[in-house]
Chain A
Amino acid sequence: MTNGIRRALATSSSALLLASCGGAAATPAATPSGPSGSITVFAAASLTGAFTRIGSDFQRAHPTSSVHFSFAGSSTLVTQLQQGANADVFASADQPNMEKLVAGGLIHGAPAIFARNRLAIVVGAGNPKHIMGLASLSQPGLIVLLCAAVVPCGRYGNQALQQAGVTVKPASLEADVKSVVGKVALGEADAGLVYVTDVKAGGPKVQGVAIPEAQNVIAAYPVAPLKDSQNLALARAFIGYVMESGGGQATLRQFGFLGP
Chain B
Amino acid sequence: MSWSRAADRQHSGSSGFLDHSPVRPPLGLALLAALGAAFFMLPLLGLLLRTPWGSAWQLLTARDTLTALRLSLFASLTATAIAIVLGVPLAWIFARTPFPGRGLVRALTILPMVLPPVVGGVALLLAFGREGVLGGWLQSWFGIRLPFTTAGAIMAETFVAMPFLVITVEAGLRQMDRRFEDAARTLGAGRWMVFWRVTLPLVRPALVAGGVLCWARALGEFGATITFAGNFPGTTQTMPLAVYLALETNPDGAVVLSLLLLAVSLGVLIGLRHRWLG
Contacts and interface: CB of A to CB of B under 8 A. Distances in A.
Interface of A: 73, 75-76, 79, 143, 145, 148, 150, 170-175, 179, 183, 186-189
B215 interface: no
Interface SS of chain B: loop
A183 B244 CA distance: 20
Contact of B232 (A150, A170, A179, A187): A170
Contacts of A171: 147-148, 230, 232
A76 B245 CA distance: 11
B232 A188 contact: no
Contacts, number: 54
B131 interface: yes
A175 B233 CA distance: 13
A183 B238 CA distance: 20
Contacts of A186: 125-126, 129, 131
29 contacts: A73-B248, A143-B130, A143-B148, A145-B230, A148-B245, A150-B249, A170-B232, A171-B147, A171-B148, A171-B232, A172-B230, A172-B236, A173-B233, A173-B237, A174-B230, A174-B231, A175-B226, A175-B244, A179-B226, A179-B227, A183-B147, A183-B230, A186-B129, A186-B131, A187-B129, A187-B130, A188-B129, A188-B131, A188-B148
The 4 A-B pairs of least Cβ separation, nearest first, read: A172-B230, A187-B131, A171-B148, A75-B248
B245 A150 contact: yes
Contacts of B147: 171, 183, 188
A171 to B, nearest CB: 4
Chain B interface residue number, banded: 20 to 34
Interface of B: 125-126, 129-131, 147-148, 226-227, 229-233, 236-237, 244-246, 248-249
Interface SS of chain A: loop
A122 to B, nearest CB: 15
A75 B246 CA distance: 12
Contacts of B231: 148, 172-175
A183 B230 CA distance: 10
B232 A173 contact: yes
A79 B248 contact: yes
Nearest to A180: B230
Given A172-B229, A179-B226, 7 more contacts: A171-B147, A171-B230, A173-B230, A173-B233, A175-B245, A186-B131, A187-B130
B172 to A, nearest CB: 39
A183 B126 CA distance: 11
Contact of A188 (B125, B233, B244, B246): B125
Query: Which of A148, A174, A187: most chain B Cβ within 10 A?
Result: A148
A145 B148 CA distance: 10
Nearest to B227: A179
A186 B125 CA distance: 8
